[in-house]
Amino acid sequence: MSAPTRLPDRTAAAAPQIRRRRALRVGPFSLPYERRTVLVTIGLAAAAVVVVVTAAFLGDFPLPAGDVVASLLGRGTQATDFVVLDLRVARALCAVAIGAALGASGAVFQSISRNPLGSPDIIGFTAGSATGAVVAITVLNVSGLAVAGGALIGGLCTALLVYLLSVGGRTLGYRLILVGIGVNALLWAVNYYLLTAARLEDALTAQVWLVGSLNGRSWEQLWPVLVVLVIAVPLLMMLARPLTLLEMGEDAAAALGVRGNRVRLAVVVLGVLLAAVAVATAGMITFVALAAPQLARRLTGAATVGVLSSALMGGFLLLTSDLVAQRLFAPVQFPVGVATGAVGGLYLMWLLLSEWKRGRG
């Protein structure tokens, strides 16, 4: 999957560079891979594990290191297990899972749009989830899982609307971004209206949700995200090759037997599902889907954004941001959305400046 920077880039010159790959052969099966990509992927996974373990030692309830280690090894007391496993580790794993879902979703839409700005944050899918949640809170006066359900429905309906308005031509990526930006602006206008028209208590609840937070997230919220990840990420990895061929040009891909519309529809559905379940679980956490795929691509040195490396980078970024938000001004804690917004804003400015210096901004 690749994400060149010009919007309507359809020339053969824009085709992704194909690097030499090795192949892992097991009997009649052969799995191509790039050594640097594999090493970076393993490194990101190891870094995420290190940060999860670090998170187990940090918190508002100080515990001796020996007690934390005992709980991690399954030998702790009921009290330390509650603090270490149910509060700290569960929250950390939620952060990794939600960040992974956002990173993988960002990789999908940056690949389809052929643009590093083509993330669910920019093209309205997360705004649709926000609208669904705000309607649930301020109009239907529900809470808990009903709000998550509203966010999921809002995200899926928005994705369907954007996709239907974008299809019809041979430049889906370009149209997807333009239509998505327009729909994103309209949805935020709806969100602001609902906030101003709601009762003060409901408006405050909705506003906290819109910022995005991992406070109170536990094993209960982790499992649905994990299930979606286990299903969607392998399917997206299987679709990576035909999608890469599509980036070489519609005619070239068709000549190689790729059915463009079916491939795009499948990856859009999976990408939307990942983004929607992440937003439904933790609210609006911005910029992870935007930054993770490009950071992972720079580390791997590939011309394409990989789903697995983007997912791992997303998990690592969100978990690290959550730790910073918890501990930087302890005992005061900020929602993780504040930290990702600050880091993501700096990243976006750097991205635009670097593209401008290259004459592509």
| Alpha-carbon gap, residue 260 to 254, rounded angstroms | 7
Residue-wise pLDDT for 246-264, tens only, equals 766 667 777 777 777 788 8
pLDDT of 352 over the 60 cut: yes
Could you read off the pLDDT of 150-179 as tens digits, one per residue? 888 888 888 888 888 877 655 566 777 888
Q: What b/e sequence results for 191-227 when a residue is b if at least 16 CB atoms lie within 10 Å of its CB, and e otherwise? A: beebbeebeeebbebbeebbbbbbeebeeebbebbbe
The per-residue pLDDT for range 266-293, each reduced to its tens digit, is: 888 888 888 888 888 888 888 888 888 8
Residues 14-39 have pLDDT tens digits of: 444 555 666 666 666 666 667 888 89
**What gap in Å lies between CA 134 and CA 148, rounded to an integer?**
10
- Band (4; pLDDT cuts 50, 70, 90): very low
Query: What end-to-end distance do the CA atoms of the chain give, in Å?
Result: 21
- The pTM of the full predicted model, rounded to 2 decimals, is 0.83
Which among 161, 187, 178 is positioned nearest to 268, based on CA atoms? 161
Contacts of 268 (CB under 8 A, 6+ apart): 108, 109, 112, 159, 163
Q: What is the dihedral of CA 242, 30, 303, 116, to 10 degrees?
A: 50
pLDDT grade for 345, boundaries at 50, 70 and 90 = confident
Q: Which domains does the chain have, with CATH numbers?
A: 36-349 (1.10.3470.10)
Beta carbons within 10 angstroms of residue 313's beta carbon: 34
Sign of the CA dihedral running 213, 56, 58, 54: negative
Sorted by sequence, the CB contacts under 8 Å of residue 351 that are 6+ apart come out as 116, 294
